[in-house]
Structure 1
Amino acid sequence: MDITCDFNTLPKNGHYKPLLEKEELKTQLLLNIRSCLSYLFPNGTFHGNEYRIGNLQGSKGKSLRVELTGNKAGLWNDFATGEGGDIIDLWAAAHRKDVKAEFHEVMASIGEWLGYYRQHKVNEAESTISWDYLDENGEAIVKVYRYDTALGKRYLPFDVKKSSYTAPEVRPLYNIPGIIKADKVIIVEGEKCAESLIKQGITATTAMSGANAPIDKTDWSPLKGKHIIIWPDNDEPGKQYAEKVAKKLIDLGVISLATVKIPQDKPIAWDAADCIQEGTNPLEFITNRKSPYHNNNSSNKLKKIDTSIWTNTAPERKWIIKDWLPVGSVTAVYGDGGVGKSLLAQQLMTAAAIGKSWLGIDIEQIKTYGVFCEDDEEELWRRQCTINAFYQLDMQSPAFLDNICLSSRVGENNLLMVFDNKGIGQLTPYFQELLADIELFQPKLVILDTAADLFGGNENDRSHVRQFIQNCCGHIAKTIKGAVLLCAHPSDSGIIRKTGTGGSTAWNNSVRSRWYLSKPDRADASDIDRVLCRKKSNYSASEQNQISFYWQNGAFVECNAHFNSERIVRNNYNKKLDLERGRRHDVILELIASEAYKGKVYTTAQFAKYFEGKLGLGSERSIRERISHLATIGHIKFFKRSPEHELSNTRSKYGYLCVEDMELKISEDQYVFIKPSCYLSATNGVLMPVENPNVWVTHNFIINDNFKLAE
């Protein structure tokens, strides 16, 4: 058998360029460098990253040293003679050959040792294919050659810039020009699969070396901000490849990320190219709602509702707490520091875990999971002891241990979502870890305390807020098919106005239910009294909008006929008046803000006339008096024009009503913050110009309700 091959000429069929064969043999020697050196120099010894031998004749010693790892692997130097070279030179010298003059023989002996030519010879059945990795300008960066031998497929990259058969240190993705133009990209294993999809008009890519690609040496940045689907081969390496790539892309920041799950009836190594060869449309395979398609971090945007299965009987709405805490969505609870938000939440977790009453409301027994970013483990422990004492619950009770999971995150990086310079939210590695742990525990209620620690965006940016509520917190609620209770701090104006809001109005608009925990605003209230008000509930028809309770021995206790009954009866009438007055004030302020969010603004007269008799606000005169009161304490101010929006002329000397942080809709997707131009003096009711429209000032003292706002 002729075991040599003419490396200096190119066969007519185009196989085996000389340099290609040399570099392939060199690569194989380096992959087997320890075996190679032991074969060449049996008397040598391994020392860390070096192999040491006396000389090229194989004598014992340490004068000649060969590098074993890294970029210098195979390089050698004989410190006694000054000779040196690479692994090919070393092989030739050990066999007393001249690598230039006897090139054929050197290559043949290496090939024979590697087993290439003993098992097959180069023949007409072998074929070579190559793929070009292009940059954004369409210029080749790397060419990858694949040639088929009896030993299997072999790949060799050629770095165009360096003009050498090596992979670049930072490896590009395949089909970069296509990636740049696309919003959605499919990642596969290998250039063949990528090309199969590209020929179908689908944007696809692969990392160099497919499942064996070094993830950290690949430049994944062209995929940032895109919708990604990973389509691995149907084998264990493919599964591991998909998991590694998914983790990398989550860290990088993509809009959505999904992985195709291959049906169980498909053969080992089945891939996208096989799918096409079977005659199956790859897009239909992915998007078919019956297809085993798994989404990693976003909802399947292509999924459609099959209304044919609907009946005339609507499904019953599910609640964790009837009318207060709906299943499948996010509820926010606001409360100033020190009023007991975290205690309220931890007590709710405990009540739900053991199926006991919470603030007088019966709750079905469920599993609960709490993330507390402001309380360390000892504080949670102390608080749990007082809560357990209230419920007469042993800390080792199976119901407690099995149904509650507490996590303290003090001092950790707790951001669940961050945002890039385009305002696109990216779920963080911590979010993925948290979601996996939540799924493992399978709770029906998750407490997130607090929003300030978990939200990595601008609280006044509506888009940031909506993405965080819907794609982060809402994603958890949908995953567990339960509820998420998000604890948050209100702004100063939210505390003063008793609305409990903070930041952009999107915080209120994006959640389905919102609570506000505060101390009662009445003369006989003590420091231990609390009131939980329901400021918003999209799904509730109940008129019970608040719960009164008080702090006792480290837990919250509901007020009922057995507690403080004498005081409640004595002050019941005044309390109702106070609550109704406060309720009307809150409704007016919320209406002004929410109507502007729809693109509508009102003068005092227009507002009073339009909302007369609505929402329990009473007569037109009563509404005017409420607006007068709110204007004189600084909660309502006025403006006459907006630089971005042309308003209709009004004869009112005051202009249109506005409240703090009010946003006016000026087009379908565009809003502007309204800055007041004038306000009423708190001392005499005189209309005054606003000197600094960027600073909203309110007054803590009360003006007589009889003051009238004239038009």
Structure 2
Amino acid sequence: MIKAATPVLPTFSLGALLDDDSPLPPDLVGPRVLTPGGMLVFGGAPKVGKSDFLLSWLTHLAAGATFLGLEPPRPLRVFYLQAEVQYHYLRERVKAIKLPGHRIPEARVNFVATPQLRLLLDDAGLTQIIPAICQAFRQEAPDIIAIDPIRNVFDGGEGSAGENDNAAMLFFLSQRVERLRDAVNPDAGIVLVHHTKKLGKRQFEEDPFQALSGASSLRGYYSTGMLLFRADETLSPRQVLFELRNGPAIPTKHVDKIQGVWREVTPGERLVLQEYGAKLDAERRRKHDVILQMIFDEAAKGRCYVATQFSMTFENHGGLGADRTIRERIAVLATKGYIKFFRNGEAYGLPRCKGSKQGYLCVEDMRLRRVVGDPDPDTGEFAEEEFLVLPTHYVSPQTGMNLPVENPHAWVYQEDFSS
């Protein structure tokens, strides 16, 4: 008589499922936003306020406090693995968060963060991260592990494929993120922070989660998607959109940061400017968004500029004012980290900078479109490729000097404009 082999995978008959009346495990974040063993991907465009929003949310979870209607069952142990903000600026942001006074003692011990991480989530990285998480809560298991952002710690396995490759993304999620969770707590919830790409208005309205950057396999893997989106760059209110696999749909939330606190606001409510100073702040914000977007868009067309040439080219364009006004605004944005510089223009097929000590202007995730190779023999068309432009220098906020960038893959902002 041949004995049947022991099943490798657990299976359940319909009868077993119907007869199981045991209570469902409590949500880590209700209603069904993050469930035990679930994965939430939180996306948003650069400068929309993702890290500020996430930091406020995670500290509220650690305190056991409701945040914008998202409710934990108790104070949760949260490990925040972040690779963007240096220690001193991280503590500056944390001190600005306003938690209920009686909840602060829990949050003090339940929230643990790394300073700016400078490693990949590969085998070597996991050997450092896993013990750090295990020791963070005195040998108690974390409830939530947040990784901010995916791009800075991404490891696609053999061949070093990027996050746009489906196989590489699946490798990262299954062999890196899941391996990390299994090692510290298989029931922990994972929060992954990711950038979004630009979509047309119609595309976004039809399916906003197409905006998540990179491979489509990411969307098929997570249990919850969240997007922080600002429809009008001249206004402060934003939208939070949800896509849930484990629960009913959640209506879009309209939020804004008012006096340092994230709050829900009335849909369609516009920024109220009651004082002249507030009007000037909104104007400065609109202008800095326009400048950053222009630099980004011009690179996509194959054009890069030094500060002086940019100011002269776009004088009185888009309401920016005179070239001197633009130069002054660029200087402010550079001091705050929104604009950096690259001096190795030759590496991207650009002429060498002459008459500029700083170099070409550069913004986060800027991609330069260039013609490559010979023309097609049949059509005569030239092939084009996009190259990610990495900064080589930045302006020190303390001295105003141009200093070499330590890690060009980690973009550091000196100030959160969304505050």
Alignment TM class, shorter chain as reference? 0.5 to 0.7
1:367 counterpart letter in structure 2: R
- Is residue 325 of structure 1 aligned with residue 29 of structure 2? no
Measure, in 1, the Cα distance between the counterparts of 2:258 and 2:78: 24
Q: Say whether the 8 Å CA contact 1:494–1:502 is kept in structure 2.
A: no
For residue 110 of structure 2, the aligned residue among 382, 403, 409 is 403
1:552 counterpart letter in structure 2: I
- Is residue 445 of structure 1 aligned with residue 136 of structure 2? no
| Cα offset, 1:445, TM superposition | 1.4
Q: CA deviation digits over 1:201-228, x for unaligned, max 9?
A: xxxxxxxxxxxxxxxxxxxxxxxxxxxx
User: Which residue matches 1:416?
Assistant: 121
Q: CA deviation digits over 1:411-431, x for unaligned, max 9?
A: x22x1137xxxxxxx974234
For residue 240 of structure 2, the aligned residue among 532, 536, 542 is 532
For residue 375 of structure 1, the aligned residue among 79, 85, 103 is 85
User: Which residue matches 2:221?
Assistant: 510
Q: Say whether the 8 Å CA contact 2:133–2:142 is kept in structure 1.
A: no
Flag the 1:437–1:416 CA change in 2: closer, same or farther, 3 A.
farther
Measure, in 2, the Cα distance between the counterparts of 1:347 and 1:494: 30
Measure, in 2, the Cα distance between the counterparts of 1:494 and 1:435: 41
Q: Say whether the 8 Å CA contact 2:78–2:111 is kept in structure 1.
A: yes
Q: CA deviation digits over 1:169-219, x for unaligned, max 9?
A: xxxxxxxxxxxxxxxxxxxxxxxxxxxxxxxxxxxxxxxxxxxxxxxxxxx
User: Which residue matches 1:433?
Assistant: 131
* SS of corresponding position for 1:470: helix
Q: Say whether the 8 Å CA contact 2:235–2:271 is kept in structure 1.
A: no
Q: Say whether the 8 Å CA contact 2:39–2:189 is kept in structure 1.
A: yes
For residue 465 of structure 1, the aligned residue among 169, 173, 176 is 169
Q: Say whether the 8 Å CA contact 2:196–2:212 is kept in structure 1.
A: yes
Flag the 1:462–1:359 CA change in 2: closer, same or farther, 3 A.
same
Measure, in 2, the Cα distance between the counterparts of 1:553 and 1:436: 36
Measure, in 2, the Cα distance between the counterparts of 1:493 and 1:487: 19
Gaps of 5+ in 1: 1-286, 289-300, 419-425, 568-688, 697-711
1:448 counterpart letter in structure 2: I
| Cα offset, 1:477, TM superposition | 4.4
- Is residue 384 of structure 1 aligned with residue 89 of structure 2? no
* SS of corresponding position for 1:326: coil
| Cα offset, 1:348, TM superposition | 1.3
| Cα offset, 1:329, TM superposition | 1.9
Flag the 1:690–1:337 CA change in 2: closer, same or farther, 3 A.
farther
User: Which residue matches 2:187?
Assistant: 481
2:226 counterpart letter in structure 1: W
Q: Say whether the 8 Å CA contact 2:80–2:113 is kept in structure 1.
A: yes
User: Which residue matches 2:53?
Assistant: 344
Aligned-residue CA RMSD (Å)? 3.7
- Is residue 490 of structure 1 aligned with residue 196 of structure 2? yes
Flag the 1:556–1:387 CA change in 2: closer, same or farther, 3 A.
same
Measure, in 1, the Cα distance between the counterparts of 2:214 and 2:248: 28
Flag the 1:306–1:532 CA change in 2: closer, same or farther, 3 A.
closer
- Is residue 500 of structure 1 aligned with residue 207 of structure 2? no
* SS of corresponding position for 1:356: coil
Measure, in 1, the Cα distance between the counterparts of 2:170 and 2:55: 26
| Cα offset, 1:367, TM superposition | 1.7
2:227 counterpart letter in structure 1: Y
1:531 counterpart letter in structure 2: Q
| Cα offset, 1:550, TM superposition | 0.5
Flag the 1:503–1:382 CA change in 2: closer, same or farther, 3 A.
same
Measure, in 1, the Cα distance between the counterparts of 2:24 and 2:221: 22
2:37 counterpart letter in structure 1: G
| Cα offset, 1:303, TM superposition | 5.6
2:63 counterpart letter in structure 1: I
Measure, in 1, the Cα distance between the counterparts of 2:122 and 2:85: 21
Flag the 1:441–1:494 CA change in 2: closer, same or farther, 3 A.
farther
Measure, in 2, the Cα distance between the counterparts of 1:471 and 1:315: 31
Flag the 1:511–1:427 CA change in 2: closer, same or farther, 3 A.
farther
2:173 counterpart letter in structure 1: I
| Cα offset, 1:317, TM superposition | 5.5
1:449 counterpart letter in structure 2: D
Measure, in 2, the Cα distance between the counterparts of 1:340 and 1:303: 42
| Cα offset, 1:494, TM superposition | 8.7
* SS of corresponding position for 2:134: helix
Percent identity of paired positions between Structure 1 and Structure 2: 15
Gaps of 5+ in 2: 157-161, 273-378, 387-419
Q: Say whether the 8 Å CA contact 2:225–2:244 is kept in structure 1.
A: yes
What does residue range 608-623 of structure 1 map to in structure 2 within 5 Å? none
For residue 541 of structure 1, the aligned residue among 240, 243, 248 is 248
User: Which residue matches 1:552?
Assistant: 258
1:548 counterpart letter in structure 2: H
Q: Say whether the 8 Å CA contact 2:59–2:111 is kept in structure 1.
A: yes
**Structure with greater Cα Rg:** 1
Measure, in 1, the Cα distance between the counterparts of 2:56 and 2:41: 16
User: TM-score under structure 2 normalisation?
Assistant: 0.53
2:220 counterpart letter in structure 1: N
Measure, in 2, the Cα distance between the counterparts of 1:469 and 1:363: 25
Q: Say whether the 8 Å CA contact 1:356–1:364 is kept in structure 2.
A: no
* SS of corresponding position for 2:67: coil
Q: Say whether the 8 Å CA contact 1:329–1:477 is kept in structure 2.
A: no
Measure, in 1, the Cα distance between the counterparts of 2:271 and 2:259: 22
* SS of corresponding position for 1:508: helix
Q: Say whether the 8 Å CA contact 1:445–1:483 is kept in structure 2.
A: yes
1:436 counterpart letter in structure 2: C
Flag the 1:487–1:692 CA change in 2: closer, same or farther, 3 A.
farther
| Cα offset, 1:407, TM superposition | 1.5
| Cα offset, 1:486, TM superposition | 0.4
| Cα offset, 1:690, TM superposition | 13
Q: Say whether the 8 Å CA contact 1:550–1:557 is kept in structure 2.
A: yes
1:500 counterpart letter in structure 2: A
Q: Say whether the 8 Å CA contact 2:194–2:212 is kept in structure 1.
A: no
User: TM-score under structure 1 normalisation?
Assistant: 0.32
